[in-house]
Homo-oligomer: A and B are copies of this chain.
Amino acid sequence: MPRYRLILAYDGTKFHGFQSQPQLRTVQGTIEQALVKMTKGRSVTVFGAGRTDAGVHAQGQVVHFNFPGNIPPRNMMLALNSLMPLDVVIKDCTIVPETFHAQFSTVGKRYGYRVSRTRFTDPFKRFYTGHYPYQLDLDRIRAALPDVVGTHDFTSFAASGGVIKNKVRTIYTATMTDRPEEDELYFEFIGNGFLYNMVRILVGVLLEIGNDRRPVAEFPRLYAAKDRQEARITAPASGLYLQEVYYTDAALQAAVTARQHTTAKD
């Protein structure tokens, strides 16, 4: 059976996350239901690169599945898009070798986080950004961001209760873009892997640094503390976007280099 890889975007607002759950609307379940229609009843299991939570969005989620039938990728994409609800779109479809695995073949991921700074919640952004209406010294955040980059034990930045023991991850780029016309900040992180809720906790701490509730040099202390209670705040799911998943070192390196140039320009 050929193995297909999809790149998809979805608005996470009305999904109970990516991963299939009985009786609940999920992204994985939505794709699997469409595939069952195409196979006339044979079930197909979909594997995703990362399990986004309820309310978390994706511009570049990647999934793979084996399909009992040989459909050209272009036709597979058209057929699936015709079966997708309006909050999911398949952006790319290719046939990949059997050795490809959406989750285990990854070498890195890029996550984005949008923060709206309007005084009151902007009605058009409530599902698509976090919201931080308080005073921020952006230079304090800029000074702290380099501490996020590197190989660290992110125990303080992982939601407790996970089964993953090794909490050491490497972050290649951590950037913040000020978007004053939209009254927004945009955070972006590229890393070799991310723990559960890690980006949302990182953003929460960065905002508290900007608001002078934490020292600029907070990250080294939190890495040493290895205590989730220390980081406290988790920024809401609505601002988080899985932007891109990397499967080759070349693709990862190109993305990292592009962001380093951006940072240097700022």
Counted per complex, copies of this chain come to 2
Say whether A87 contacts B128, CB under 8 Å: no
Say whether B89 contacts A11, CB under 8 Å: no
Say whether A81 contacts B123, CB under 8 Å: no
A164 CB–B CB distance under 8 Å: no
- Cα separation A157 to B148 with both chains bound (whole Å): 57
Binary interface encoding of chain A residues 119-154 relative to chain B, with 1 for a CB under 8 A from any of its CBs, else 0: 011111010100000000000000000000000000
A121: chain B residues within 8 A (beta carbon) = 86, 89
A57 CB–B CB distance under 8 Å: yes
Say whether B57 contacts A126, CB under 8 Å: no
- Cα separation A86 to B128 with both chains bound (whole Å): 12
Say whether A10 contacts B123, CB under 8 Å: yes
Q: List 12 A-B contacts (CB under 8 A).
A: A9-B122, A9-B123, A10-B123, A11-B124, A11-B126, A57-B124, A86-B126, A87-B123, A87-B126, A88-B123, A89-B120, A124-B128
